[in-house]
A and B are shown apart, each in its own frame.
Chain A
Amino acid sequence: MDIATHVFSALYQFGDAFAFLVLSACGLAVIFGMMGVINLAHGEFIMCGAYVTAATVHAGLPLPLGILAGTLVSALVGVVVELAVIRHLYDRPLDTIVATWGLSLIATQGTLIMVGSTMAGVGTPFGSFQVGDYSYSIYRIVLFCAALGVLAALYALFNWTRFGVLARATIQVPHMAAALGVDTRLVYSLTFACGAGLAGLAGGLYAPTMTLVPTMGATFIMEAFVTVVIGGADVFLGTAPAGGVLAVVKSVMTSWQGQLFGQIGLLVAVIIVVRVLPKGISGFVLRERT
């Protein structure tokens, strides 16, 4: 097998791991980074996106529209959850953790009772392609592009739009933003909805590739939290580089020794980073800057 094949396969595996880490983590990172809320129901927003995507595709919608529907429904559920629960607990971070954990239990059990223990999959589109001896799924490339797209879109949203500037102002000095006329509650609602929508998007994107069960969110959670812990509170300075670093660790370890070592690699990376950079990569970058 020639060098190019090896290089491509390494890049593909890196991209695949990167996409999963970043897409899993984005919604969590937005909500944690922007609002300081640790959303333990993150996995269930992912599950919600996946279920809605699958349901709408079964109902006849094309997959991209199904994914859009999954994203929007999750975002909408996010608005409701923020209004009903999170809003009342902003100054009680520990209670938020407990409340969102409770929500996640309710969501998994509720889905089990209402939709059943499993839902039919939708099938992965696009087929495969061959490079050297290996064949690859085209859809995994789509997922990688989607991860880059999400990062770019978030960058644009938070840097180039009025909402983005107001949201960043609100996280930095909330009372001052309010005193300047920013409806900070609305900003928090929309930010939470954005995070929930991103989780739904991850669910929708991965729905064609996975078993759809009420507990599916749990399979994203470890990667999501590891990425956010390593990245720190900032999506661009944190989540994106953390996704890159962890994707290298994971794909190298997994190809060397298998999946178990891939996971061990992630956890070791967390331990090292937490020791060396307690505020994550973004905390380190920001301290260096100011």
Chain B
Amino acid sequence: MLDQPRKEVILSTLGLRAGYGGKPVLQGLEIEVREGEIVAVIGRNGVGKSTLMKSLIGLVPAMSGSIVYRGEAVELLPAHKRARLGMGYVPQGRDVFPRLTVGENVAVGAAIKGGGIPEAGRRKIVEAFPILEERWHQRAGTMSGGQQQQLAIGRVLIADPNLILLDEPSEGIQPNIVQEIARNMVELNRRTGVTIILVEQNLDMIRAMAQRCYVMDKGRIVANLDRAALDDAAEMRRHLAV
């Protein structure tokens, strides 16, 4: 799949404005992501990266502009309907259900498919993240940050999404687990062609995963870097520390 040259656009936004309490954080933001891509989004703290992700999944309503997902305008749909169209959201801070067990957290993710946890799906995520198997009956709130991050990703993967919105998965997590997550996600992308939008500050993770990278500032995309630029240490440092 990956070596087909031009893929369909899976997600694009036009003039997207969104924010909190009537005050826009995203100021006419435009992106375009093709099927099977892994695209990183970088930018200083507070430029609106998380707001973009929340706006894409529907947790922050669009004030104006459009979000087209697989040919359908979704900006007016509530979050749960977007999830049912195949968007998977892994939030910054993970937001696992603390008093549900690992298994129940995964079951919430699986519920869109209308039923329990499919055995094949379960096997798929515990192979990628063996810790989930080990802690299956433990309450999610008692796990470490890295374990919770793996759960938050597994919880989304169980529903076989077409697009995964990953918001700072490396934040507060040991480097070896960051590497494992990155490896798993790339592997998954190769195998299934799932599209990933990755918000990150961790250069290693970006380099390990992304094929290109948007740079955000003040609610807008200010640059679109290709793979070569990603490997250019000086350029990247400039963008991350704008």
Query: Given A165-B108, A175-B59, A180–B100 Cβ distance below 8 Å?
Result: no
Residues of B within 8 A of A (CB): 57-59, 78-80, 83-84, 89, 91, 95-100, 104-105, 107-109, 111-112, 115-116, 139, 141-142, 155-156, 159
| 21 A-B pairs (CB sep. < 8 Å) | A162-B107, A162-B111, A162-B116, A165-B107, A165-B108, A166-B111, A168-B104, A172-B97, A172-B98, A173-B98, A176-B91, A176-B97, A178-B78, A178-B79, A179-B89, A180-B83, A181-B80, A181-B84, A181-B112, A181-B159, A184-B80
- For the complex, what is the distance from the CA of A166 to the CA of B100, rounded to whole Å? 10
Q: Is the CB of B116 within 8 A of A176?
A: no
A182 to chain B, nearest CB (A): 6
- Which of A162, A169, A181 has the most chain B CB within a 10 Å cutoff? A181
- Cβ < 8 Å to B, chain A residues 166-195: 166, 168-169, 172-173, 175-184
Q: Is the CB of B108 within 8 A of A179?
A: no
Question: Which residues of chain B come closer than 8 Å to A168, judged between CB atoms?
Answer: 97, 99-100, 104
* 13 extra A-B contacts, CB within 8 A, seeds A165-B104, A169-B100: A168-B97, A168-B100, A169-B97, A172-B99, A176-B91, A176-B95, A177-B97, A179-B58, A179-B83, A180-B108, A180-B111, A180-B155, A181-B83
Residues of A within 8 A of B (CB): 162, 165-166, 168-169, 172-173, 175-184, 286, 290
Question: Which residues of chain A come closer than 8 Å to B105, judged between CB atoms?
Answer: 169
- For the complex, what is the distance from the CA of A147 to the CA of B109, rounded to whole Å? 33
Question: Which residues of chain B come closer than 8 Å to A176, judged between CB atoms?
Answer: 91, 95, 97
Query: Closest chain B residue to A173 by CB distance?
Result: B95
Question: Which residues of chain A come closer than 8 Å to B108, judged between CB atoms?
Answer: 165-166, 169, 177, 180, 182
Question: Which residues of chain A come closer than 8 Å to B58, judged between CB atoms?
Answer: 178-179
A285 to chain B, nearest CB (A): 11
Question: Which residues of chain A come closer than 8 Å to B78, judged between CB atoms?
Answer: 178
- For the complex, what is the distance from the CA of A290 to the CA of B142, rounded to whole Å? 7
- For the complex, what is the distance from the CA of A179 to the CA of B108, rounded to whole Å? 11
Question: Which residues of chain A come closer than 8 Å to B89, judged between CB atoms?
Answer: 179-180
Q: Is the CB of B59 within 8 A of A179?
A: yes
- Total A-B pairs, Cβ < 8 A: 78
Question: Which residues of chain A come closer than 8 Å to B112, judged between CB atoms?
Answer: 180-181
Question: Which residues of chain B come closer than 8 Å to A172, judged between CB atoms?
Answer: 97-100
- For the complex, what is the distance from the CA of A175 to the CA of B95, rounded to whole Å? 9
B133 to chain A, nearest CB (A): 19
A167 to chain B, nearest CB (A): 10
A148 to chain B, nearest CB (A): 24
B210 to chain A, nearest CB (A): 23
- Which of B91, B99, B107 has the most chain A CB within a 10 Å cutoff? B99
Partner of A290, one of B83, B98, B155: B98
A199 to chain B, nearest CB (A): 25
Q: Is the CB of B79 within 8 A of A175?
A: yes
Question: Which residues of chain A come closer than 8 Å to B109, judged between CB atoms?
Answer: 180-181
- For the complex, what is the distance from the CA of A169 to the CA of B112, rounded to whole Å? 14
B137 to chain A, nearest CB (A): 12
- For the complex, what is the distance from the CA of A136 to the CA of B172, rounded to whole Å? 63
Question: Which residues of chain B come closer than 8 Å to A177, judged between CB atoms?
Answer: 97, 108
- Which of A166, A169, A184, A290 has the most chain B CB within a 10 Å cutoff? A169
- Which of B89, B99, B108, B116 has the most chain A CB within a 10 Å cutoff? B108
- Which of B91, B97, B109 has the most chain A CB within a 10 Å cutoff? B97
Partner of B80, one of A165, A182, A286, A290: A182
Partner of A178, one of B80, B97, B107: B80
Question: Which residues of chain B come closer than 8 Å to A181, judged between CB atoms?
Answer: 80, 83-84, 109, 111-112, 159
Query: Closest chain A residue to B79 by CB distance?
Result: A178
Give 3 nearest A-B pairs by CB, closest first. Answer: A181-B83, A181-B112, A178-B79
Question: Which residues of chain B come closer than 8 Å to A165, judged between CB atoms?
Answer: 100, 104, 107-108, 111
B89 to chain A, nearest CB (A): 4
Question: Which residues of chain B come closer than 8 Å to A286, judged between CB atoms?
Answer: 99
Query: Given A179-B79, A180-B89, A181-B84, A173–B111 Cβ distance below 8 Å?
Result: no
- For the complex, what is the distance from the CA of A48 to the CA of B104, rounded to whole Å? 36
B118 to chain A, nearest CB (A): 14
- For the complex, what is the distance from the CA of A183 to the CA of B116, rounded to whole Å? 17
Query: Closest chain A residue to B99 by CB distance?
Result: A172
- For the complex, what is the distance from the CA of A169 to the CA of B220, rounded to whole Å? 34
A29 to chain B, nearest CB (A): 16
A11 to chain B, nearest CB (A): 34
